């Protein structure tokens, strides 16, 4: 579990979200405009989507270790390329390589958990691994604040952490075999009464949450008239709160999946409303960041647990499908939010994001996700 949380932390929290944290410094040092920076960010998401598809197709054939080590190596390489970048082309290459890393490392751990742990422990393990994103964000923000002006050193520091996490994961997974499955991929996996709500809900969470990930710092700094450093702290709070996602497995066992996801959905929507209503007040911004970080990661963790039941025959492939839908929403959402913000203002875009997230209440799991000792894992859709 520690190895999974570690590589998720460095690939998601550092390799992907480090770009947004250090964006002002990259803009100034490399003299890039918003359009160029936006295209580079889009390329990162596109690389993530391609890597997620690759991971889903190859997880059962190659086994977790090769994919995880490859993803970690891409994170190290990509961040070192960024550290040495002298223009838009080199920066784009580094961000694209680093962005692909997270798509390779997370889904294979669903196979690792299914192979190594008893059924009763899998939900907690998947939740802890998923919470690695929070650890990554929590670590990256202090580094960005301390070394933001020396942004090349910040990226080198990120790369060193990624190397250490990758070496640890390679050691932990060294005896993990490929999990060959007799089940073939088919369309009914992704369009049936069991898998459909899971995948559609992941898409909506991605669409709505992309508004917060992309524009929260901008909203607080612009509409809220706070300093850039103060606005960056919003993501630090999000990262700290997201560690609550590690307890998602226990929440599912104690409360059930539907109540847990309903509470998470309502809390996520509330975070949008709070920051839109008073972006210049810490009395609203701080609770908003706490709610967003906790609720977002609880929902992602429960989706991972849900996926492990729906796609029990090929858990790595199933989790890759969920992450692909989430990433599709994260990729498409900022463009729509940007149009809405231009026409109606950023607060209105955040309210729109709240509505999109709230729509997932119609897609909550109908099946019981608690793990009973006498109940075997479910099959595919």
pLDDT tens digits for range 46-82: 888 888 888 877 766 777 788 889 999 999 999 999 9
Which distant-in-sequence residues (6+ apart) come within 8 Å of 111 by Cβ? 59, 60, 63, 64, 179, 315, 316
Asked if residue 276 has pLDDT above 80, the reply is yes
Task: Please identify which residue in the block is written with the tokens 């599912």.
Answer: 252
Which distant-in-sequence residues (6+ apart) come within 8 Å of 195 by Cβ? 189, 310, 311, 318, 321, 380, 381
Tell me which of 101 and 20 has the higher pLDDT.
101
Q: Given this model, what pLDDT does residue 147 score?
A: 79
Q: What is the pTM of this model?
A: 0.78
Name the least confident of 90-94, 286-290, 371-375: 371-375
Name the least confident of 59-63, 186-190, 249-253, 259-263: 186-190
10 Å CB burial of residue 71 (0-12, 13-18, 19+) is buried
Asked if residue 179 has pLDDT above 50, the reply is yes
Across the chain, what does the average pLDDT equal?
82
Which distant-in-sequence residues (6+ apart) come within 8 Å of 171 by Cβ? 3
Asked if residue 374 has pLDDT above 60, the reply is no
Q: What is the pLDDT of residues 109-166, one digit of tens each?
A: 777 777 667 666 766 777 777 777 778 877 888 888 787 678 899 999 999 999 999 9
Q: Give the Cα separation of 151 and 132 in Å (integer).
A: 23
What is the C-alpha end-to-end distance of the chain, expressed in Å? 27
Are the C-beta atoms of 65 and 167 separated by less than 8 Å? Answer: no
How large is the average pLDDT for residues 299-315? 81
Q: Give the Cα separation of 106 and 312 in Å (integer).
A: 16
What structural domains and CATH numbers belong to the chain? Answer: 1-176 (1.20.1250.20), 185-381 (1.20.1250.20)
Q: Given this model, what pLDDT does residue 60 score?
A: 63
For the chain, strand residue ranges (E) read none
Q: Give the Cα separation of 267 and 95 in Å (integer).
A: 32
Q: What is the pLDDT of residues 185-237, one digit of tens each?
A: 555 556 667 778 889 999 999 999 888 887 887 788 778 877 767 777 887 88
Q: Give the Cα separation of 68 and 334 in Å (integer).
A: 29
Q: Give the Cα separation of 84 and 181 in Å (integer).
A: 43
Of 219-233, 240-254, 271-285, 354-368, give the range with the top mean pLDDT.
271-285
């Amino acid at each position: 579990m520690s190895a999974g949380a570690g590589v998720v932390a460095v690939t998601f929290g550092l390799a992907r979200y480090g770009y947004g944290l250090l964006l002002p410094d990259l803009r100034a040092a490399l003299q890039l405009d918003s359009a160029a920076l936006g295209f580079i960010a889009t390329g990162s998401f596109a690389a993530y989507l391609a890597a997620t598809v690759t991971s889903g197709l190859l997880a059962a054939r190659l086994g977790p270790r090769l994919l995880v080590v490859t993803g970690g190596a891409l994170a190290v390489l990509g961040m070192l390329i960024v550290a040495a970048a002298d223009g838009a082309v080199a920066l784009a290459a580094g961000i694209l390589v680093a962005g692909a890393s997270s798509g390779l490392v997370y889904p294979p751990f669903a196979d690792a958990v299914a192979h190594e742990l008893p059924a009763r422990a899998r939900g907690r393990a998947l939740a802890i691994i998923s919470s690695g994103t929070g650890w990554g964000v929590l670590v990256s923000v202090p580094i960005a604040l301390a070394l933001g002006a020396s942004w090349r050193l910040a990226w080198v520091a990120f790369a060193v952490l990624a190397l250490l996490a990758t070496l640890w994961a390679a050691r932990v997974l060294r005896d993990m075999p490929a999990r060959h499955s007799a089940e073939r991929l088919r369309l009914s996996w992704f369009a049936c009464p069991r898998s459909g709500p899971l995948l559609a809900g992941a898409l909506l969470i991605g669409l709505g949450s992309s508004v917060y990930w992309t524009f929260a710092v901008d909203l607080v700094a612009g509409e809220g008239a706070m300093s850039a450093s103060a606005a960056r702290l919003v993501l630090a709070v999000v990262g700290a709160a997201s560690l609550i996602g590690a307890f998602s497995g226990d929440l599912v066992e104690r409360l059930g999946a539907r109540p847990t996801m309903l509470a998470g959905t309502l809390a996520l929507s509330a975070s949008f409303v709070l920051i839109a209503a008073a972006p210049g007040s810490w009395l609203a911004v701080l609770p908003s960041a706490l709610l967003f970080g906790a609720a977002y990661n609880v929902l992602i963790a429960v989706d991972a647990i849900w996926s492990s039941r729906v796609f029990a025959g090929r858990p790595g492939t199933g989790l890759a499908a969920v992450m692909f839908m989430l990433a599709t929403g994260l990729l498409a959402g900022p463009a729509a939010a940007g149009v809405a913000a231009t026409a109606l203002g950023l607060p209105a875009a955040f309210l729109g994001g709240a509505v999109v997230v709230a729509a997932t209440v119609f897609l909550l799991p109908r099946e019981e996700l608690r793990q009973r000792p006498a109940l075997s894992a479910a099959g595919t859709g």
